[in-house]
Chains A and B, each alone.
Chain A
Amino acid sequence: KNQVEQSPQSLIILEGKNCTLQCNYTVSPFSNLRWYKQDTGRGPVSLTIMTFSENTKSNGRYTATLDADTKQSSLHITASQLSDSASYICVVSSGGSYIPTFGRGTSLIVHP
């Protein structure tokens, strides 16, 4: 069964600090991995997408990494801002299905 596990479940950091969110998956065959940001009361918004051959992708202060061998991904947020407070969802797509597998998300709270 395809699964996506995210850690930590929640995280509280101070404004300006860096943080790293983790995603482990057992989706096979692997097609791509996306990180989404979901603000409270809003729909998820795509931050990055990585295929099998890519091991890092940046979008401003967000940097995602992918290790396809260990089936792990991370999302690193640099110099956090209050607006980074949101849920971050890891989504993995399989080559065998158009239906992706969603993680439960990491809830990030950035305090001033």
Chain B
Amino acid sequence: SAVISQKPSRDICQRGTSLTIQCQVDSQVTMMFWYRQQPGQSLTLIATANQGSEATYESGFVIDKFPISRPNLTFSTLTVSNLSPEDSSIYLCSVARDSTDTQYFGPGTRLTVL
């Protein structure tokens, strides 16, 4: 298994601002993902973070709103831009060795937008 940390663990932000979430893994991993979990809902995949290239976004998520960086095999950031109260959620980073491997999740970042 992998040890994953996320920063910040929680934040309260004002409408119109942005929040950048960091995900750090203790070992090199092929696949990194960013998920959103809204209250009472299942996890929804935002995008797959690709090392050295643009992230692959799922339907309903766009790069302008959720820019992602992945400079190496152990680190990624997700920015949630132009925040609105609807962005209040838990954001989770996950990693996997390959596409068939179990995904290991970080502790999550709880975002509240006022």
The residues of A with any CB-CB pair to B shorter than 8 Å are 4, 31-32, 34, 36, 41-46, 49, 89, 93, 98-100, 102-105
Contacts and interface: CB of A to CB of B under 8 A. Distances in A.
B99 A89 contact: no
A34 B102 contact: yes
B92 interface: yes
Contacts of B45: 99
A46 B100 contact: no
Contact of A43 (B31, B40, B106): B106
B107 A103 contact: no
A36 B106 CA distance: 13
Interface of B: 4, 31, 40-45, 58, 92, 94, 99-100, 102-108, 110
9 contacts: A4-B42, A41-B108, A43-B4, A43-B106, A45-B105, A93-B100, A99-B45, A104-B40, A104-B41
A98 B102 CA distance: 11
Given A34-B102, A49-B102, A98-B31, A43 B42 contact: no
A34 B101 CA distance: 11
Contact of B42 (A42, A46, A89): A89
